[in-house]
Structure 1
């Protein structure tokens, strides 16, 4: 079954994006109907984060989320097989000069990349601009794992580290001139996490961003991808580096990350990764959410 799915992805990647995006959206809406556990998770998350919306509006937002997630899943074949020329045409990068300036100054860089659903296309497109380091979580399905690894490493000399490779290898790579493509906004469990608000809900959040920034002397640069409507492609925005970061307060720095993320999510809530159990880990004594 996995090989058949990969073959389908390969066939679909030849289609124009305007056609592929419509097929992907329909696929996502089908998943909304056929995968009730993930639908339930998304609706719980949206209820916690957007209590001001009516139940009907949250259901509509969830359907929109599944549609655009379906797009991102099928369009992943582009990240795996599309030519460099096509990738450059599909994904525009705004703010690349900011990253170039930091690298020219010899400053290590952390690209703070939240889990918006277009992040795989963004990572592949960014890899065309040089050598980066990222932390890679191996997938249970070995066939998909192989192709995900391929998509993230096929251009230039990308360094993919496993989570158990440790902080030292990551810092060493950054100091050697590789920007870190860093995704710290999921629930990774209680270890190395603290509880800080995310949309007003205590969320187990790893403190890796301020700690890595301090250890490497790195600038933190927002890195946000947006899927454009109608098959118009993607925009990857590299924002202004954060000032006065990190501070001497790890908790305040972690809160700052979540506050910033909330603001970005509100600009395109349908594109955030709501099918993840973001509030799975609870403070002591609090009941489970999912």
Structure 2
């Protein structure tokens, strides 16, 4: 999966360069899994001490002070669980609503619910009531967090460029921001060293993420996420079929499926 994604998103690399990057990503992905487990199973105070640098926190404080809500867009980059812990407890202590998708494992779902319940977080299951709940939070001046680089269901997004390839992209950020006037920020925790040391970053999103045109908004959203991923491709999650759905009428095939030779 990772190799195929690199073929799609970094076509300019030679096979040798891609192989080197692929090895680095696999190593980083394994490390990331252990880092997540560490965050879930250790005291919050100990986890937050892992942050060596914090940048852009004034943007978060100013956005909350506006009283029109904050949408924190977090890509699958670095350690998003540490980001969640910090932003929901210390800047300032604000209840953050997070939308999540259920996994195929009831046991894993239960574990994630348990470890996340210790944080100042309201978990919103991605179902028919989720959007209404998120609108309510923003209307009340609250904060929500979204992992916005996941492929949505058909009908819940538009196709927009991501690493130069059309990808079905959620329009939820655009709908929430346009209708509530909420501030949209990007947030991520980037690994600084192999010793569980991180730097936290908050940046303001391009205002175009709230454009009335869903395509313009989705393109702006993806541009911001791609820029973060390119900071260090080894820390981005490449084990996901981001391009499995193709634009209607494009005659493109799922790039993750091998075509059988015609006999």
Distance 2:31 2:65 in 1: 36
The answer to whether the Cα contact below 8 Å between 1:113 and 1:222 also exists between their aligned partners in 2 is yes
In the other structure, the counterpart of 1:72 is 32
Please give the TM-score of this superposition, normalised by the length of structure 2: 0.88
Q: CA deviation at 1:75?
A: 1.8
Distance 1:223 1:49 in 2: 22
Q: CA deviation at 1:241?
A: 5.0
RMSD over aligned CA atoms reads 1.8
Unmatched segments (≥5 aa) in structure 1: 1-40
In the other structure, the counterpart of 2:149 is 185
The answer to whether the Cα contact below 8 Å between 1:189 and 1:281 also exists between their aligned partners in 2 is no
Q: Residues 7-55 of structure 1, C-alpha deviation per residue, up to 9 Å, x if partnerless?
A: xxxxxxxxxxxxxxxxxxxxxxxxxxxxxxxxxx111111111111111
**Which stretch shows the higher mean deviation, 54-63 or 224-233?**
224-233
How do 1:1-290 residues align onto structure 2 when only pairs under 5 Å count? 41-91=1-51, 92-129=53-90, 130-156=94-120, 158-164=121-127, 165-243=129-207, 245-284=209-248, 285-290=251-256
Unmatched segments (≥5 aa) in structure 2: 257-263
Please give the TM-score of this superposition, normalised by the length of structure 1: 0.80
Q: Residues 79-132 of structure 1, C-alpha deviation per residue, up to 9 Å, x if partnerless?
A: 223223212211353222221122122121101111114112222232322210
Distance 2:18 2:159 in 1: 25
Q: CA deviation at 1:271?
A: 1.2
The answer to whether the Cα contact below 8 Å between 2:67 and 2:140 also exists between their aligned partners in 1 is no
Indicate the structure with greater strand content.
Answer: 2
Distance 1:236 1:58 in 2: 28
The answer to whether the Cα contact below 8 Å between 1:204 and 1:282 also exists between their aligned partners in 2 is yes
Q: CA deviation at 1:232?
A: 4.7
Q: CA deviation at 1:286?
A: 1.3
Indicate the structure with greater helix content.
Answer: 1
Aligned residue pairs, count: 249
**SS of residue paired to 1:196:** strand
Distance 2:209 2:29 in 1: 32
**SS of residue paired to 1:228:** strand
